[in-house]
Chain A
């Protein structure tokens, strides 16, 4: 009887696992359990790096992601814009992914509801998307206005008050990168941070985060937001709950469900292996 149960568990139809995972997420979103989570040092470093910047200085935000990574990166993008505008920093945003431009406009319009006095062209500007990946980064090192001659509204950058005095990376105090893949944080670290020693903070998908911890350890990154958890911790620091913080309960419960299935599968596997060995003997 036990052997039959174990055999069934070992070859469990994956669709049952899908249903359990889906239900764990849906039910937890409907009935939050408010699982506490703490803020980790990489996220605190990211927050502190922006908080330490003098008001009025210019920050370049490169939003390199698409709708596919929105659940993890959009909350980070919104939170980063919020902190930058709250600190009265000037936000110059660019995109190296074509699909990033409408997401940036959406994120900024959401944040501007809290800052109705912030003006386009004075407090923030969207220079838009430029194709070329690392070539764009290297070109910006020579001249940012030549690389982005106009903004998304076709205004020449020399006519924008926020872009006055911005020629190269020496004229910006920090670079914030919201990265969904290639090109992203790795390319910014290798092409810009290592050459021009710009302060670089990164928000990335959880898949990429392990790759960027060495850069955090070496000081090439001043802070790192990894995945939805990083976004949730960042929202907690800013005391501005958003979709990331809301999703953390579902994240934790779904992980427990996956863990339980792995445990059940392993118990079934090793028990059956032991039983088969005994039968052979």
Chain B
């Protein structure tokens, strides 16, 4: 019974959201606010049960790990942003968070996005096979053109201008491909909703 109620509720809310395609209306607003509210509540409950209780509260109160008072204090300081007088205290917590994430990210980006990607672009321009060689030349020319385009220390004239023009074409083609993928993604989501309405709700399809 609860499953049936859930399906009817899902179908009703889906149609409320779709009603926005005609024009903004109270049904859409209701569904949107309901979604935002439930999401916020779900996340708050998940963070409480998955983060606060097992990582801070239980070790602090049941296992006596007093050192956890330090991150506890930093967490409380974040809420000082809501006061004008003490909002500067939250900068300490933000500095810690940003510092840790920057440190973790730099190592990852350095090896994963920089070194390994540069290595992957050091390709032989002639491999003995026409197709592979053409692919490698295309890749190297595209990468070089894209990098030249983003070099703004000199005016894009002459050879630099030609390189930047080639880079522009490669960038435009890649944006077009990305847009095509984005259209496919949005269509997939619509297909998922239509499938839910026609199969799960109305049982029109098997």
Which residues of A are in contact with B by a Cβ distance under 8 Å? 15, 18, 21-22, 25-26, 29-30, 68-72, 98-99, 128-131, 134-135, 138, 187, 189-191, 193-195, 205-207, 209-210, 214, 217-220, 226-229, 243, 246-247, 250-251, 254-255, 258
Contacts and interface: CB of A to CB of B under 8 A. Distances in A.
Contact of A247 (B177, B195, B204): B195
A220 B204 CA distance: 44
A255 B183 contact: yes
B108 A22 contact: no
B185 A72 contact: yes
A74 B184 CA distance: 16
Given A254-B187, A255-B184, A71 B192 contact: yes
A206 B184 contact: yes
A134 B181 contact: no
A229 to B, nearest CB: 7
Contact of A227 (B107, B117, B185): B185
Contacts of A15: 21-22
The SS class assigned to the B binding surface is helix
Contacts of A99: 42
A134 B42 contact: no
B120 A219 contact: yes
Contact of A190 (B108, B185, B204): B108
B205 interface: yes
A3 to B, nearest CB: 30
A251 B191 contact: yes
B25 interface: no
A218 B104 contact: no
Contact of B194 (A29, A131, A190, A227): A29
B205 A30 contact: yes
B96 interface: no
Contacts of B42: 98-99
B112 A71 contact: no
A132 to B, nearest CB: 8
